């Protein structure tokens, strides 16, 4: 929130070339939610365990997590909560790319899953903003399974007739693109954002059929039919609000659900 004055002017967008620089989760939240700031964070204390006791040459996984926590002042690569967007309460999950490249581990998946479940219980729309390198290797197959559980949670939202909008920011890759991000009802890309399945693999592409824009940018992905809109940051809040209003014309009374209390330490925690 404290970044507000400076990005209010620039939104981290270059006025000359429209380059959309990466934002922190806090900047994103301020960008998306109404004034005055209404964000109430959920599950802020949930953080990574080390199920594989994973060691890299550069250090242990818990060391990496500790560094990321110090760097971002967050406990995980996603910040979840509720707030007012376009005058209506939404459940909001924003990935923090600065936290181990926004990678998705068990705690990340837990928070995202809880967010969908929270929205389901309170009948709220969900907005996610993705910025991620994909699944977090250090948790092995546990990390892969976050794709399944977050996607399953998102699928239940649709069955309940609650709208889900995903904003794909730079970069949205691999295990996040191919899970809860891709199943949103409406998908919005940020200008120039890299959106793709294959991470760093060498890809031999020769055929360029329909692409006057650079491969794997949001604009290109839209041309391929995979996302609905590419929306400049300045228009983002308004567009998300319009989409939600269109999909859920008769919401639970706006403003009525008071900001949820932070839940007590979850009994579901397994470690």
Partner 1 sequence: MLDFEHPLDDLRARIDALERDAEADPNSDITRELAILQLELEARTADLFANLTPWQRVQLARHPQRPHTLDFIERLCSEFIELHGDRRYGDDPAITAGLASVGGRSVVVAGHQKGRTTADNVKRNFGMAHPEGLRKALRLFDMAERFGLPVLTFLDTPGASPTLQDEERGQSWAIAENMARLARLRTPVIVIVIGEGGSGGALALGVGDRVLMLEHAVYSVASPEAAAAIIWRDSKHAPDAAAALRLTAPDLLRAGLIDRVVPEPDGGAHRDYDTAAANLANELTPLLDDLCAHDPDDLVHARYQKFRAMGEFTQAPAATS
Q: Hey, which residues between 180 and 199 contact partner 1 (CB under 8 A)?
A: 180-183, 185-186, 196-198
Q: Let me know if 209 is exposed, middle or buried by CB neighbors in 10 A (0-12, 13-18, 19+).
A: exposed
Q: Is 163 in the site for partner 1 (CB under 8 A)?
A: yes
CB neighbours (10 Å) of residue 206?
4
Q: Closer CB to partner 1, residue 15 or residue 253?
A: 253
14 binds, among Zn ion, partner 1, none (CB under 5 to 8 A by kind): Zn ion
Interacting positions 1-60 with Zn ion (CB under 5 A): 14, 16-17, 19
Q: List the one residue from 209, 253, 256, 261 that touches partner 1 (CB under 8 A).
A: 209
**How big is the CA angle at 93 (ends 88 and 98), to the nearest 5 degrees?**
140
- The 96-135 contact track toward partner 1, x by CB under 8 A, reads ---------xxx-xx--x---------------------x
Structure tokens at 268: 């579901």
Distance of alpha carbon 95 from alpha carbon 8, whole angstroms: 20
Distance of alpha carbon 267 from alpha carbon 61, whole angstroms: 24
Q: List the one residue from 23, 46, 78, 131 that touches partner 1 (CB under 8 A).
A: 46
User: Which of helix, strand or coil describes residue 50?
Assistant: coil
Q: List the one residue from 37, 245, 252, 259 that touches partner 1 (CB under 8 A).
A: 245
Distance of alpha carbon 108 from alpha carbon 93, whole angstroms: 10
Q: Closer CB to partner 1, residue 35 or residue 53?
A: 53
Work out how close the CB of 171 gets to Zn ion at its nearest, in angstroms, rounded to a whole number: 19
Dihedral pair phi/psi, residue 45, rounded to 5°: -85, -5
First to last CA, the chain: 32
Q: Is 153 in the site for partner 1 (CB under 8 A)?
A: yes
16 binds, among Zn ion, partner 1, none (CB under 5 to 8 A by kind): Zn ion
Structure tokens at 184: 């949103």
- Site of interaction with Zn ion (CB under 5 A): 14, 16-17, 19
């Amino acid at each position: 929130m404290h970044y507000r004055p400076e990005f209010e002017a620039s939104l981290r967008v270059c006025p000359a070339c429209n380059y959309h620089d990466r934002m922190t989760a806090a900047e994103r939240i301020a960008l998306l939610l109404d004034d005055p700031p209404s964000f109430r964070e959920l599950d802020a204390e949930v953080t990574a365990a080390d199920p594989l006791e994973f060691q890299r040459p550069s250090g242990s996984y818990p060391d990496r997590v500790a560094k990321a926590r110090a760097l971002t002042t967050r406990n995980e690569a996603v910040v979840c909560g509720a707030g007012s967007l376009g005058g209506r309460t939404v459940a909001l999950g924003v990935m923090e790319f600065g936290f181990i490249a926004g990678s998705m581990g068990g705690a990340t998946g837990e928070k995202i899953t809880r967010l969908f479940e929270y929205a389901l219980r309170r009948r709220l729309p969900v907005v996610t903003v993705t910025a991620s390198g994909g699944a977090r290797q250090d948790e092995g197959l546990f990390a892969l399974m976050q794709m399944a559980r977050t996607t399953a949670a998102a699928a239940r939202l649709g069955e309940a007739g609650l709208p889900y909008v995903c904003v794909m920011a730079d970069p949205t890759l691999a295990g996040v693109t191919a899970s809860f991000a891709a199943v949103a009802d409406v998908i919005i890309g940020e200008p120039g954002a890299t959106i793709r399945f294959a991470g760093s693999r060498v890809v031999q592409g020769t055929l360029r059929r329909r692409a006057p824009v650079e491969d794997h940018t949001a604009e290109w992905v839209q041309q391929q039919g995979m996302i609905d809109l590419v929306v400049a940051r300045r228009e983002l809040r308004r567009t998300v609000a319009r989409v939600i209003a269109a999909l859920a014309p008769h919401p639970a009374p706006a403003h009525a659900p008071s900001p949820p209390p932070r839940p007590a330490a979850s009994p579901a925690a397994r470690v």
